[in-house]
Amino acid sequence: MRSRENGLVLFIISTLLCAASFSATGLILFRVLQGSGSAMMFATGMAVLTSVFPTSERGKVLGINVAAVYAGLSLDARFTMA
């Protein structure tokens, strides 16, 4: 859980820095930090799910998680297309 919490803190701080950046270089640097924080949070998501749910329900929970991820990716493409 430590990595997930550190990722959340890094993501929040870098998001605030993105909003406060005055140059494209600063924005790109802060977006890289934001991506690193996001990766720290989401890389541990499956591990958290498998540790919280019993073995008999893991398949269902992981399936719901994957479905939610791909539904989000699909909806994002739909709303950002011109």
Number of domains in the chain: 2
Q: Which band of pLDDT confidence, cut at 50, 70 and 90, is reported for residue 15?
A: very high
Q: Would you say residue 79 lies in a domain?
A: yes
Q: What is the pLDDT of residue 10?
A: 95
Q: Which band of pLDDT confidence, cut at 50, 70 and 90, is reported for residue 78?
A: low
Q: How many CB atoms lie within 10 A of CB 16?
A: 11
pLDDT per residue as tens digits for the range 28-77: 999 999 999 999 988 888 888 889 999 999 999 999 999 998 888 888 76
How far, in Å, CA of 61 to CA of 50, rounded? 8
Q: Are residues 23 and 59 in the same domain?
A: no
Q: Would you say residue 66 lies in a domain?
A: yes
Domain hosting 72: range is: 54-82
Q: What is the pLDDT of residue 21?
A: 92
pTM score above 0.85: no
φ, ψ at 54 (rounded to 5°) = -70, 160
Q: Would you say residue 73 lies in a domain?
A: yes
Q: Are residues 38 and 63 in the same domain?
A: no
